[in-house]
Amino acid sequence: MFWSAASLYLAVTIGGGTDLSEREMRAWKKVQPSIVSIIEGRTVSGSAALISADGLFITHASAVSGAEAMGRTSTGRIVTLKKLATDEPTQFVLLKADIWMEDAPALTIAPSVQEKSILAITPTGPARAEIVKAAYGIVNPSRKVVSVNEIQLENNMRSLSGVLLVNLNGQLVGALNAALGMSAEQTVQKTRADLNNRGAAGLGGGGILPSQPPTLQYGPGILTAAYSVGTKVLSRVVAGFLSSSHEVRHPAIGVFCRDAIPGGAVIETVTKDSMAEKAGLKSGDIILSINNRQVRNQIEFAQIMADHEIGEVLTIWIQRSGLRQQVKVEVGSQP
């Protein structure tokens, strides 16, 4: 009797998954009409957010495997979504609904992150998440460095693909670009929990056995650290998607660098026809500073580059063959 009551308590209190606060629910209700669930096969592979009233959606590449996908609106209508463009450095995808009749507002992009609490629009619905810290991400294969936010959320759902992130004001703040992998021990734990859940379901009622920790349930469950690009990069992506060419242009001068000893970023490769090549930068040059900001390694070089916009002229001090010299380089774009 006691264990049954305990099981029921656990199932209700930490197994629901929809225990959002009133404010979180308001945010979800606000954005829900502008979200479509992407359906691939018989499963929901992610979500897409409306960024233009004429039916343009943004999602992450992990939600769409082919050239098109089916989408289900909040009203239950099914639309066909065609892939128009992909931004390789961020893996954001632009989708276009063939027929868009919904009267839903386009989501706006948050100018910045003002609160840690956010909502993750997962394939199984909204879930609470938090932004815990800022970091820098190197995106393969472009090796582009972008500012990212580390997100913590419970990985109770089976998939985090195509998860959109909105703040509690109903503004888009990002999408889960990647998640930290699981260790072997955690994989075993997850497998055991899956088996337990299956066994519990077989008992009829989906209850949780008292001796089995609710590893994959809401509450003190498994936390996943995932990453989303910052709102500044997201705004750039959306602006590029909404342009006539649907092309996103990220600032770059066209070099690949490693760290130099004792300091600086040594240029490994100069992209052909890039701004760096036009300015005379060569492989082997060591970048020491950019616009009066010291470059102590290649990460700092990329961080400084991320703070500049296309068209700006950078004053770069380099060291070449032991001699230091100044080079002016205009910031170009990395399509």
Partner 1 sequence: MRKKIEEELAKLAFGDLSADEASRLELRTQVDPEAAKTFESYRRMKDELQLLGQDVPEDQLSKERLRQAILTRGLKHSEPAIQRMSWIWMPVAAAFIAFGAFYLKGNFPAGGSTSTVVVDKTTAPEPNWLPEVGVVRPPKNDVFVMPETSRSPVVSSSAPTRVAMGGTRKSTRMSGSASRLANDPELPSGAAGLDMFDRSPMSASEPVESPLNFGKSAEPAPAPTIIVIQTETDASTGTLKATEVGDTANVLVGG
Dist. CA 147–CA 229, nearest whole Å: 6
**Neighbour-count burial for 41-62, b at 16+ CB within 10 Å, e otherwise:** eeebbbbbbbbbeebbbbbbbb
Return phi, psi of residue 236, to 5°.
Answer: -65, -40
Give the Cα-Cα-Cα angle 238, 134, 33 (nearest 5 degrees).
40
CB of 310 to partner 1, least distance (A): 13
Give the Cα-Cα-Cα angle 268, 269, 272 (nearest 5 degrees).
165
CB of 98 to partner 1, least distance (A): 26
Q: Rank residues 180 and 201 by Cβ distance to partner 1 and give the closer one.
A: 180
Q: Rank residues 35 and 306 by Cβ distance to partner 1 and give the closer one.
A: 306
CB of 41 to partner 1, least distance (A): 13
Q: Rank residues 52 and 197 by Cβ distance to partner 1 and give the closer one.
A: 197
Q: Rank residues 100 and 317 by Cβ distance to partner 1 and give the closer one.
A: 317
CB of 20 to partner 1, least distance (A): 11
Dist. CA 281–CA 267, nearest whole Å: 8
Q: DSSP string covering 40-108, please?
A: ETTEEEEEEEEEETTTEEEEEGGG--SSEEEEE-TTS-EEEEEEEEEETTTTEEEEEESS-----PPPP
Q: Quick one: which of 207, 198, 200, 311 has its CA closest to 251? A: 311
CB of 7 to partner 1, least distance (A): 20
Q: Rank residues 52 and 330 by Cβ distance to partner 1 and give the closer one.
A: 330
CB of 59 to partner 1, least distance (A): 12
Give the Cα-Cα-Cα angle 146, 137, 218 (nearest 5 degrees).
115
Q: Rank residues 55 and 137 by Cβ distance to partner 1 and give the closer one.
A: 137
